[in-house]
Amino acid sequence: MAEQFARLREKFEGNRARIAVIGLGYVGLPLAIRFTEERFPVMGLDVDEDKVSTLKGGKSYIAHISSVKIGEALAAGFEVTADMAAVATADVIILCLPTPLGQHREPDLSFVLRTLDTIIPHLRPGQLISLESTTYPGTTDEKLKPRIENRGFVVGEDIFLVYSPEREDPANPDFSTRTIPKICGGITPHCAELGRLLYESIVDQVVPVSSTRAGEMTKLLENIHRAVNIGLVNEMKIIADRMGIDLFEVIEAAATKPFGFVPYYPGPGLGGHCIPIDPFYLTWKAREFGLHTRFIELAGEINSSMPEYVLSKIADGLNEQGKPIRGSRILVLGIAYKKNVDDMRESPSVAIMELLRDKGGEVAYSDPHVPRFPKLRAHQFELSSVPLSADTLADYDAVLLATNHDGFDYELIRDNARLIIDTRGVYRDAAPHIFKA
């Protein structure tokens, strides 16, 4: 035990540990690049051959990660492969894999567990495994640890296991992988110590927690906090709209209070890989203890109903012009789930597009970050982004501002669209053709 622990600790302290990052998406790719910046030998693994070939060619497929960054990482020795057997050469294996919800809102750990089962035959004594995927408390010690130990390893002695949740905020210029504090909890004290040493090599602050379960719960609390508060402000938006009050004005006024208030802003619904999904991991696990997560479920109901609310505002706006949704041409501005990114996972814009299509609307979209509508598991549109001009804007019966990208020319949109449905509070001036949603 002491020998494997001491050997890994020495490699971490000298930045000589070989790092394997499995899953080269919005979490794994920036993490791998960060390790290369500190001169660790790094390899990235992904089952998507297109991603592997793109990275090998020095190109990026994520908007806020430049191809220059990829080229610099390759020059520093970054290797990319789809061969999971390559983990045998790694000292550290970091799992950055999706954890979606199943059909009945139950946790789907299949990506994590299938990958672990694939790499287990290639594990060897003296390796550290870190799970970064968001999941319910107990996943690391109930699901990963037994699988590893069933192969004859002893976690904490010859294989070390930690949980360290990702905290990426894509396209946020104020925070980076290095500057965001890193939570880390281990199965044993030796696991925790090695996890702390590893992440201290690449981030400014590591925040140790007492266990992997505490780390898993920390990540869920962060995202549940946001989901509940967004649900609250979305409900407030509906109330304020009915009362003829501008909620954005109210939020800005309340935010002047120097204590006790944190501003959250309403929108057309929740999107992204975390906040619409992660709270239900705790909801599912809580049932095992006979508990019902009423706040979480209520916030989920409100947030998931927002696309229907936006649909009603589109219908109201068109009705003012004597038009039904059926047969109307509607341009959706922004289909990524948040501003200035190309990530469409769980985007409320797509849910609204489907509702409009179901009502007989002719739907198009414009998004500078998504030139072509991608193939999604649950949503299909054969569309490409419409370039904005005075003529194209005037050609649509309604323009829905769903995601407020900085790249949009809002003056051009205001001056040329026949009808604007604004879900983001961009247009604060009163105008007959602007509807607040």
- How confident is residue 311, by pLDDT bands cut at 50, 70 and 90? very high
Which amino acid does the sequence have at 251?
Answer: I
Rg (CA), the chain: 24
Q: To which residue do tokens 């998504």 refer? A: 370
Which tokens belong to 405?
């990208």
Q: Do domains 2-210 and 248-436 have the same CATH topology?
A: yes
d(C-alpha 328, C-alpha 433), whole Å = 16
Name which of 44, 39, 52 is nearest 21 in CA terms: 44
Tell me the per-residue pLDDT of 287-308, one tens digit each, with 9 for 90 and over.
Answer: 999 999 999 999 999 999 999 9
Tell me the per-residue pLDDT of 176-207, one tens digit each, with 9 for 90 and over.
Answer: 999 999 999 999 999 999 999 999 999 999 99
| Architecture of the domain spanning 248-436 | 3-Layer(aba) Sandwich (3.40)
d(C-alpha 115, C-alpha 139), whole Å = 15
Tell me the per-residue pLDDT of 215-229, one tens digit each, with 9 for 90 and over.
Answer: 999 999 999 999 999
Most confident residue range from 119-123, 164-168, 337-341:
119-123
Helices (H) and strands (E) in the chain, counts: 15, 13
Provide the whole-model pTM. Answer: 0.92
> Is domain 2-210 classified as CATH 3.40.50.720?
yes
- For position 126, what pLDDT does the model report? 96
* Residue burial 145-157, b: 16+ Cβ < 10 Å; e: rest: beebeeeebebbb
Query: In the chain, where are the structural domains located?
Result: 2-210, 248-436
- For position 230, what pLDDT does the model report? 95
Tell me the per-residue pLDDT of 233-245, one tens digit each, with 9 for 90 and over.
Answer: 999 999 999 999 9
d(C-alpha 60, C-alpha 270), whole Å = 26
Antiparallel, parallel or unpaired: β 127-131 and 92-95: parallel
Which of the residues are catalytic? 274
Which tokens belong to 188?
């044993």
Is the pLDDT at 437 greater than 90? The verdict is no
Tell me the per-residue pLDDT of 252-284, one tens digit each, with 9 for 90 and over.
Answer: 999 999 999 999 999 999 888 788 888 999 999
- For position 379, what pLDDT does the model report? 67
